[in-house]
Amino acid sequence: MRDSARGIVPDALLDRTTKGTGTLDAALGLRQHAPQLAELWRESLLAEHGLVDQTRLTHVCARPDTPELADGRLLSTVGCELWLRAHQGVIPPSTPKAT
């Protein structure tokens, strides 16, 4: 696959011997969407069911560079929250309602 990407993907990326983690992208995304995440946890259905610590999630999301976010658990938790909202017909915060 690497050879088929030559000429399309920069050689510096194809020739590197380490794997990127994406943590910078994740931190930037958390910063950009911090208000929506804070609102998501303020109205968390998972918290209502006692499955997550609402205060802790809000605190962690306010610190996007924390090592606590390195393992991807936050993204799984966001996915679970959004799934539960969809399952129960609850519109996520900051989502425009259909007209």
- Residue owning tokens 């911090």: 34
- Separation of alpha carbons 89 and 51, rounded Å: 19
What is the CB neighbour count within 10 angstroms for residue 52? Answer: 17
Give bridge partners of residue 2 from the DSSP assignment.
Answer: none
What is the CB neighbour count within 10 angstroms for residue 5? Answer: 12
pLDDT digits (tens, 9 = 90+) for 2-47: 788 788 888 887 787 766 655 567 778 788 888 888 899 999 999 9
Return the pLDDT at 50: 96
Joined together, the tokens standing for residue 98 give: 């259909």
Asked if the model's pLDDT at residue 85 lies above 70, the reply is yes
Query: Residue 81: which pLDDT band, with cuts at 50, 70 and 90?
Result: very high
Asked if the model's pLDDT at residue 91 lies above 70, the reply is yes
pTM above 0.85, yes or no: no
Residue 15 phi, psi dihedral angles, 5° rounding:
-95, -5
